[in-house]
């Protein structure tokens, strides 16, 4: 158990809908990262927050947005969902904001768009 929690574990929805994925980092970690992993593909970095502020942005679509709240939990919002958005979405957390910190991953949310 990494100490990072994600909810829900599974999510099934229809095209055009909007969903929110939630992540709680490990106690003491200030950074939260979001990744997308499609079937048989690598981890695609979406976005990083550090202590409530956006720190780095990857290949995140305009239909996707995220935020980190004062209690450090984070939410990833996916809107106007398409079939291709079906994937595992992982959240990770680390102590600091640089690339030198080990990231601890949550169990992921499996999103299926029908």
Interacting residues with other proteins (CB under 8 A):
2, 33, 35, 41-43, 45, 48, 55-56, 58, 88, 90, 98-108
CB of 35 to other proteins, least distance (A): 8
CB closer to other proteins out of 15 and 38: 38
Q: Which is nearer to other proteins, 64 or 90 (CB)?
A: 90
Q: How far is the CB of 89 from other proteins (least distance, A)?
A: 11
Structure tokens at 56: 């780095």
Cβ 100 to other proteins, closest distance in Å?
A: 5
Distances from the Cα of 86 to the Cα of 12, 77, 113, angstroms: 9, 14, 5
Q: Which is nearer to other proteins, 46 or 81 (CB)?
A: 46
Question: CA 74, 79, 81: angle at the middle one, nearest 5?
Answer: 125
Four-CA torsion 31, 45, 39, 63, nearest 10 degrees: 100
93: burial class by Cβ within 10 Å (0-12, 13-18, 19+)? buried
* Tokens (6 digits) for 108: 């992921």
Least distance in angstroms from the C-beta of 107 to other proteins: 5
Closest CB to other proteins among 5 and 79? 5
């Amino acid at each position: 158990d990494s100490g990072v929690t994600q909810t829900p574990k599974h999510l099934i929805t229809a095209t055009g809908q909007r969903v929110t994925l939630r992540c709680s980092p490990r106690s003491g970690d200030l950074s939260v990262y979001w990744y997308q992993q499609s079937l048989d593909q690598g981890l695609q970095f979406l976005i990083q927050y550090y202590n409530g502020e956006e720190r780095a942005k990857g290949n995140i679509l305009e239909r996707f947005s995220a935020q980190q709240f004062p209690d450090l939990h984070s939410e990833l919002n996916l809107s106007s969902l398409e079939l291709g958005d079906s994937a595992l979405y992982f959240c990770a957390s680390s102590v600091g904001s640089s690339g030198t910190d080990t990231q601890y991953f949550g169990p992921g949310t499996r999103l299926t768009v029908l």
